[in-house]
A and B are shown apart, each in its own frame.
Chain A
């Protein structure tokens, strides 16, 4: 099975900072990659699919890029409401594995 990794596992940044999270797949998954945000105690929320397509209603400060085996999620200007754990998920083929998550906190 294709394995998904994320880095860093956690980060702390200031409000207004640009934040980038990396997701790597152990094999080529083309652009079949989604990103989710899960705030503490809440349900996961789809942010991005197709590696770079923003889900409707998601703020434009979120963006995704990459293809093949390396992907990134960028928050252009970190806001307090962005405190959450972010997961990537591959859907090239099942199993639709999630990455281990990156916890984002405010410094």
Chain B
């Protein structure tokens, strides 16, 4: 069965970086894009961008340009989200989700808390 399994919770200080992983199983990894979506506490869903798992080409939402890095390791069917220059308002649950445009499978979410 299709699964996306994300890395565990992180606590970071402002200005630090974090890297979240999303390991896929149960399907051919390079046939489906991976998107990243975040949800701040008590808030709605915010699309962050996506990565083409066939070419490795990332697309970032405008609000995040310059601070995000999407990457892949196709040898282990894993996508990564790196956020640089963390701020307190980056505190959120970060989800990876499979799909070119709508998202049929989601990871379990990774809580990233940013606090001094």
Contacts and interface: CB of A to CB of B under 8 A. Distances in A.
Interface of A: 1, 32, 34, 36, 38, 43-46, 49, 55, 85, 87, 89, 91, 94-101
Interface residues of B, number: 21
Interface of B: 35, 37, 44-47, 49-50, 59, 61-62, 95, 97, 101-104, 106-109
Contacts of A36: 45, 103
Contacts, number: 56
A101 B101 contact: no
Contacts of A95: 47, 61-62
9 contacts: A34-B101, A34-B103, A36-B45, A43-B95, A44-B106, A89-B102, A94-B50, A95-B62, A98-B47
Q: Taking chain A's interface residues, is the majority helix, strand, or loop, or is none over half, making it mixed? A: loop
Contacts of B97: 44
B25 to A, nearest CB: 16
A44 B50 CA distance: 17
Nearest to B109: A43
Given A44-B95, A98-B47, A101-B44, A91 B108 contact: no
A91 B101 contact: yes
Across the A-B interface, the 8 shortest Cβ-Cβ residue pairs? A91-B101, A34-B102, A98-B45, A49-B102, A43-B106, A96-B47, A101-B44, A95-B61
